[in-house]
């Protein structure tokens, strides 16, 4: 038996063994003109595997780069684009810069802090509506972390602290109940 685990490792497994065999065959063609024509045919076949990507900008360029990678950068043809260098496969990606913000209430998240800061700019009825929406969302976030019931007073005091006392809800503000915020669980259908 000839198992795939015993065969040569595929450089780009998403194209499959047959495309890799075609690329390996390209390396054996001695006539440069025939090799160029065959390479274009292989690119067409590779493009047919992902027809929904044909409208993506630089799709052909990507295919030619993949051909070079699959040929281990040894294919001597007339590339329509500059072929990539072998160094691109060993380059380490740039480090991702993470925010170093201190979040006092992590269960509400950094985005909630930004929303509260932005809400301070509103006035009148809009401000009251935004405060109510923020408080309900804070309650929902709190319930996601703490499955026990949460008191509305706790949410309102957290909102007061996070806004430095600038967002004061109406005295008659009633937050949504926990069931409506979390939603009902869908019953799974049992197989008979």
Q: What is the model's pLDDT at position 168?
A: 86
Q: What is the model's pLDDT at position 183?
A: 66
Q: What is the model's pLDDT at position 74?
A: 93
How many residues appear in the chain?
192
Which residues of the chain register pLDDT less than 50? none
Please give the C-alpha separations between residue 87 and each of 27, 73, 81, 92, in angstroms, as whole numbers.
21, 11, 17, 10
Q: What is the model's pLDDT at position 56?
A: 81
Q: What is the model's pLDDT at position 192?
A: 52
Measured distance CA(116)–CA(6) in Å, rounded: 59
Q: What is the model's pLDDT at position 119?
A: 93
């Amino acid at each position: 038996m000839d198992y795939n685990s015993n065969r040569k490792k595929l450089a780009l497994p998403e194209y499959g063994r047959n495309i890799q065999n075609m690329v390996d065959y390209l390396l054996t063609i001695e006539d440069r003109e025939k090799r160029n024509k065959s390479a274009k045919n292989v690119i067409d076949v590779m493009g047919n595997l992902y027809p929904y990507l044909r409208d993506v900008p630089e799709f052909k360029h990507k295919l030619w780069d993949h051909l070079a990678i699959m040929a281990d950068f040894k294919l001597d043809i007339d590339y329509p684009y500059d072929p990539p260098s072998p160094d691109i496969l060993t380059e380490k990606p740039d480090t991702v810069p993470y925010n170093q913000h201190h979040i006092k209430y992590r269960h509400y998240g950094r985005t909630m802090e930004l929303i509260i800061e932005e809400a301070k700019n509103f006035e009148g009825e809009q401000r009251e509506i935004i405060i109510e929406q923020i408080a309900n969302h804070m309650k929902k976030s709190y319930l996601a972390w703490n499955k026990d019931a949460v008191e509305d007073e706790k949410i309102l005091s957290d909102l007061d602290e996070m806004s430095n006392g600038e967002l004061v809800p109406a005295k008659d503000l009633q937050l949504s109940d926990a069931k409506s915020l979390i939603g009902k669980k869908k019953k799974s259908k049992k197989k008979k």
